[in-house]
Amino acid sequence: MLRKSGPKILVLLLAATALNPAIVLVGLSFSSKAAVANMDYSALVKDADFKKAVQSIAEACSVNMNLAQICC
């Protein structure tokens, strides 16, 4: 049974993988909003209090807000 459905599953996974970047490039994804003050990503990047809160949670890590990454 796996031999019959294997290629179909592979095609479905490849189609889903190709669809994800297409949605991002076209801009169909929703922008994120914070629960407090309805701030979007760019507002959070500029907010010093948010950066300080994230750094206090990840005490031994550094936060790169330009890349949205935490480096430990």
Domain extents in the chain: 1-30, 39-72
Residue 2 above 70 pLDDT?
no
Predicted local distance difference test score (pLDDT) of residue 56: 82
Q: How far apart are the first and last CA of the chain?
A: 45
In 3D space, the residue among 15, 41, 45 whose CA is nearest the CA of residue 30 turns out to be 41
Which distant-in-sequence residues (6+ apart) come within 8 Å of 54 by Cβ?
A: 63, 70
Distance (Å) of CA 25 to CA 18, 22, 29, 55? 11, 5, 9, 31
pLDDT tens digits, one per residue of 13-66? 999 898 888 887 887 767 666 677 788 778 888 899 988 888 787 777 777 878
Predicted local distance difference test score (pLDDT) of residue 69: 80
